[in-house]
Amino acid sequence: MFERIFEDKSTLGISIAVLVVVITLLIIWLLKRSKDVKKNFLLVGASNSGKTRLLCQLLYKKNLLTQISFNGKKKLVSLIDIPGQDKVRRKFFTLYKKTAKALVFVVDSSTFQKEIKDVAQFLYEILTDDLLAKSKMRLLIICNKQDIDLSKGQAYIKSNLEKEIELLRKISGSALKSTGSSGDSKMNFDSLIKNINKQFEFTDLKYFKVEFCETSSLEEEKMSYLKNWLIMN
Ligand SMILES: Nc1nc2c(ncn2[C@@H]2O[C@H](COP(=O)(O)OP(=O)(O)OP(=O)(O)O)[C@@H](O)[C@H]2O)c(=O)[nH]1
Ligand SMILES: [Mg+2]
């Protein structure tokens, strides 16, 4: 009888110890996970748009990591440079998109006119990404290489991207109608905008908050908007 009580007690003790260990591990895992997710700014854009040079400029000048934010606290910013080459960019983007707190999309303003179709297609893929599309993501579109004489300004780039995205919206809309299915894991663009009966503008996006700025890695003063944006977001 006494042996039975001892046996029961030791079984109960072991069960409680196991439970405590499991709960502790669960708490550690949850804490680690909450730190890991949504902490990175992803630097995306076509190959040669200037992402790596921007990153080097931000790191080398050391202003970013030591800048004092408005509330007097120092802020550490984590930026991930996603290579722009077609073959690798989807792989890395898929790998890191779940950790993204905001996106920085870099455009080479000096070759914009020539590359507009590719740039718009890349942006369209991001805007319709099933994971990002509804996550109320901030997106800063950087019109880079402003030091080059023939570079297009942000107003030109913005309005031309809107026109191209409108074309892609129409093409994908008619493709959907003809096949009767979306065919992949992308969101239907029309479900992501406020008004489908007019030409697309970035302010029509229901979930993404899009901003534009002009930058040049060669001119320090043309980096300030980007730096402030990274610190404030
Ligand atoms: N004039 C000028 N050249 C720049 C600027 N930013 C980058 N470049 C040049 O553009 C070229 C490409 O820059 P990268 O930073 O390597 O481009 P990237 O976007 O990282 O390219 P991938 O890694 O292939 O995706 C390099 O020769 C840079 O020196 C800029 O603001 N002005
Ligand atoms: Mg690079």
What was the pLDDT predicted at 62? 54
* pLDDT, mean of residues 58-71: 54
Other C-beta atoms lying within 10 Å of the C-beta of residue 14: 10
What was the pLDDT predicted at 129? 92
Distances (CA, A) of 195 to 71, 159, 162, 188, 192: 38, 17, 14, 14, 9
The first and second tokens of residue 162, run together, are 């809107």
The response to whether residue 109 sits with its C-beta less than 6 Å from ligand 1 reads: no
CA distance 55 to 61: 10
* pLDDT tens per residue across span 132-191: 887 889 999 999 999 999 999 999 999 999 999 999 999 887 665 544 444 446 788 988
Mean pLDDT, rounded, of the chain: 85
The response to whether residue 211 sits with its C-beta less than 6 Å from ligand 1 reads: no
Tell me if 225 sits within 8 A of 140, measured CB to CB. Answer: no
Pocket test for ligand 1, best of 43, 51, 53, 61 (most atoms within 8 A of CB): 53
Considering the four listed CATH numbers 3.40.50.300, 3.30.1370.60, 2.90.10.10, 3.90.1170.20, the one that applies to the domain covering 38-232 is 3.40.50.300
The response to whether residue 57 sits with its C-beta less than 6 Å from ligand 1 reads: no
Question: CA torsion sign, 42 to 45 to 46 to 49?
Answer: negative
The CA 48 to ligand 1 mean position distance, Å, reads 5
Whole-prediction pTM value? 0.81
Q: Which residues are annotated as a binding site for GTP?
A: 81-85, 144-147
* pLDDT tens per residue across span 105-131: 999 999 999 999 999 999 999 999 988
Q: Which residues are annotated as a binding site?
A: 81-85, 144-147
Q: With pLDDT > 90 as the criterion, what percentage of the chain qualifies? A: 55
The response to whether residue 110 sits with its C-beta less than 6 Å from ligand 1 reads: no
* pLDDT tens per residue across span 25-42: 988 887 766 555 778 899
The response to whether residue 48 sits with its C-beta less than 6 Å from ligand 1 reads: yes
DSSP character at residue 49? S
Pocket test for ligand 1, best of 48, 92, 111 (most atoms within 8 A of CB): 48
